[in-house]
Structure 1
Amino acid sequence: MRRGRNCSLSDLLAGKESGKMETTLQELATLVDGQLHGDGSLQISGAATLANARSAEISLMDGEKFLQACNESAAAAIIVSANLRPDDKPCIQVDDVQAAFAKVVSHFRKPRTLDPVGISPSAHVSPTAQIGPEVDIHPGVTVGADVEIGRGSRIYPGVHIMAGSKLAENVTLFPNVVLYENTVVGPRVVIHAGAVIGAYGFGYEMVEGCHQLSPQLGFVEIEADVDIGACTTIDRGTYDATIIGAGTKIDNQVMIAHNCRIGRHNILCSQVGIAGTVTTGDYSVFAGQVGVKDHVNIGHQCMLGAKAGVMADIPDQGVYVGIPATPIRKQTGMMAALMRLPEMRKALRRLEKTVASMKAQESTAPRQDAA
């Protein structure tokens, strides 16, 4: 067996295992449309964060608070905002540091492209399925009866697409995604590994002393440009559709129950749990571990802080935190009062002692009879 040379993770990410790639600082400044300060002929071989950058790599300083870390970094050059300059390093000033650095990183870390595979012989595709042009179906995929897959879609190993599901063009399903029957997926949707779309909703009725599953006859509809994270689950509607609005981005390990209607361009962070028949407006943000009670309506442009417990409707542009979820200004006041409770308790005890002492003195004092 051939033994290769030792290679660090950063080397692998930068593609250095296949040869050193160098670009001048001037070329990078042109790439990001930035203002160069320093030696434009400086050779740059990669990009990394301040703590991990090597002596021939470029990094970023996104704010004055990182100035010390910048000065201590081994990076050869820095990408900074237009109002900042590092003390002793060449730099490229840009309007948007994060966007510019992402472009530089992409320059050094070329995406690995896969050769088209067409329909793998080891995939099981129903003869009644309709497969569009330029579709890749990898080994181990199962495509059920009457499934439709649009042009340019990529279906990775282990995916199971059940009967009647419809995928628009340029859909990407990463390994081991499961689409239950009749799932509808819009164009350019990306669903990451292990997600389950369209499972039966958690709806049971008590019948003769036993929990009996209520009808789960609906489906899931995912509109255009939605991203769904790994191991996320979205249940089908009871009779109609559970809907995920266009442009919504869903993190890993999110649970969306049956009959929900999630609006357009929402952000749902990891471990959000939304109970059944919840509706949301557009452009709302759910921070990590937010929990939402069933049959609740959340308005447009709302922000829910981490671990908020939503028990009632929230109006448009509401900013809510805590359990139960409360308007942030009210919650801040409540927390401030809570933090003062120990001192308030001590003060109350002092007052109680003072009152008790005054009562004792009053009871022992001689009474003067009225004349």
Structure 2
Amino acid sequence: MALTIAEIAAALGTTAHGDTSLIVRRPAEPKDAGPDDLALAMQPAFAAQLTASGARAAIVWADADWQALGLQAAITVPRARLAMAALTQAFDPAPRSTGIHPTAIVPDDCSIGADPSIGPFVVLAPGTVIGARVRLDAHVSIGPGSTLGDDCLLHAGVRIGRGCRLGDRVILQSNVVIGADGFSYVTRDLSHEERASQTLGRVPLTPPADATRHRIHSLGGVILGDDVEVGANSCIDAGTIRPTQVGRGTKIDDLVLVGHNCIIGADNILCGQVAMAGSGTLGDRVVMGGRAATNNRIIVGNDVVVAAAANVYGHVPDGQFIMGSPALDMPSHRVRDKALRRLPQMMRDIAALQKRVPNDDAKD
């Protein structure tokens, strides 16, 4: 894809220098950049690689002396990662409408918006509603009563269950499952986990008279707000009666599980392998690091950061930074961590004191 330096600067909303008519065909790391590439040298640490490369044009840091770096053209950016967002969008052309593939199963009563791209072996349930400019890649399936807003992109192998509603511009990566039944079962009498919770483990667990698990079906579906993105192989389970909900702009990484009945607010980030047990609630702008997990029915407030691998067993107020297992606010976690690191020396000190104290039992 060929773009001029002026076109790229306009897409980034920033300033171009030098020969702005120069054409580049792809972005590249400085050490790999050639004459037709746009080198990405947005930090001074890349100056040496840039000088040694064959690049004629580059994106550089705000006060870089681009001429001293041997460039014919340059684009300056104040915030590198923000520039990467606009740059990658500029070099990723929007797919053209391909219509409906002849192997796709699209019942006559489906409502399909303008300019669709429905790929090979896509299966739509009767009555499915699809917005304008939606792209469904190969082997996508959509269940009864589900609707998709405009400009949605569902990659290969995505599964949408019954009664799910996707807003506009939703992106689902390969093999995402939205609206599967929740992991929800009940026994006739109290189950092992219920008895263990009630007795706090103080009473040995004995075999119940009837351990049969009776399945609770999920009737509530899932609602995804506008601009939600879900990474590959992630699962969002349907609600039991009311829908599981994910708010506008929330981004979910690969291999994430959101349990049935969860409510997730707007602009959240859930990193890889996060697990939310059923009926949990996240406020707005929550960040959950990789492998963090919440217990069932936990409420996490707005603007909370949950560190990687943290295990959340209690409610979290707004604005907290929590970490550890069980998760604590940062100051409390540091106190606990320091105390744990002192334990070995404390044990050695106690052993030394015991040797110095007379043993009264030995005198008897």
Fold conserved between structures, TM > 0.5: yes
Equivalent positions of 1:33-48 (< 5 A) are: 33-34=14-15, 36=17, 46-48=26-28
1:22 CA displacement? 8.0
Q: In the TM superposition, what whole-angstrom CA distance separates every residue of 1:236-262 from its partner, at most 9, and x where no partner exists? A: 111111111111111111100101011
> Is this contact kept in 1: 2:143–2:160, CA < 8 A?
yes
Aligned counterpart in structure 2 of residue 217 of structure 1, from 216, 219, 233: 219
What code does the residue aligned with 1:330 have? S
- Look up the match of 2:93: 111
Return the alpha-carbon distance in structure 1 between the equivalents of residues 351 and 45 of structure 2: 45
CA-CA distance at 1:127 after TM superposition? 2.8
Change (3 A) 1:72 1:226: same
Match of 2:326 in 1: 324
Q: 1:42 to 1:122 in 2, by over 3 A?
A: closer
The correspondence of residues 210-359 of structure 1 with structure 2, limited to 5 A, is: 210-346=212-348, 355=356
Aligned with residue 59 of structure 1, among 22, 36, 39: 39
- For the pair shown, the structure with the greater C-alpha radius of gyration is 1
Tell me which residue corresponds to 1:182: 163
Counterpart contact for 1:79–1:97, Cα < 8 Å: no
1:160-184 Cα distance to aligned partner (Å, 9 max, x none) = 1111112222222221111111111
Pairing 1:96–2:98 present: no
Q: Residues of 2 paired with 1:301 and 1:27: CA distance?
A: 36
* Aligned-partner Cα distance in 2 for 1:306–1:299: 18
Equivalent in 100, 104, 118 of residue 137 of structure 1: 118
Q: For residues 94 and 225 of structure 1, what CA distance do their matches in structure 2 show?
A: 26
The Cα of 1:351 is off from its aligned counterpart by 5.4
| 1:367 alignment counterpart | none
Task: Please tell me the root mean square deviation across aligned C-alpha atoms, in Å.
Answer: 3.1
Contact 2:50 2:69 in 1 (8 A): no
- Cα distance in 1, alignment partners of residues 350 and 56 from structure 2: 62
Taking the aligned partners of 1:104 and 1:94, their CA distance within structure 2 comes to 11
Partner of 2:187: 206
Structure 1: 5+ residue stretches without partners: 1-14, 16-20, 361-371
- Contact 2:6/2:16 (<8 A) preserved: no
What CA deviation, in whole Å up to 9, does each residue of 1:25-62 have, x standing for no partner? Answer: 677667653253x7778775542123433365332333
What is the identity, as a one-letter code, of the residue corresponding to 1:326?
Answer: L
Deviation at 1:199, TM superposition (A): 0.7
- TM-score normalised over the length of structure 1: 0.79
Structure 2: which amino acid aligns with 1:269?
Answer: C
What CA distance in whole angstroms lies between the structure 1 residues aligned with 2:171 and 2:268? 15
Identity %: 32
Q: Is the 1:60–1:97 contact (alpha carbons within 8 Å) kept by the matching residues of 2?
A: no
Does structure 1 retain, via aligned residues, the 8 Å contact 2:44–2:61?
Answer: no
3-state secondary structure, aligned to 1:198: strand
Read off the aligned partner of 2:234 and give its amino acid letter. T
1:293-336 CA distances to partner (integer Å, 9 max, x unpaired)? Answer: 10000000111111111111010011111111111122223333
**1:237 partner amino acid:** G
Q: Could you say which residue in structure 1 is the equivalent of 2:202?
A: none
Q: Check conservation: 1:60, 1:101, Cα contact below 8 A.
A: no
Paired residues in the alignment total 335
Which shows bigger deviation, 137-146 or 237-246? 137-146
Residues in 2 aligned to 1:42 and 1:139: alpha-carbon distance in whole angstroms: 40
CA distance in 2 between counterparts of 1:146 and 1:28 reads: 43
Is 1:83 the counterpart of 2:63 in the alignment?
Answer: yes
- Structure 2, unmatched stretches of 5+, are 189-209, 360-364
In structure 1, the residue corresponding to 2:32 is in which secondary structure? coil
SS state at 2:178 partner: strand
Are 2:182 and 2:217, in contact at CA under 8 Å, matched by a contact in 1? Answer: no
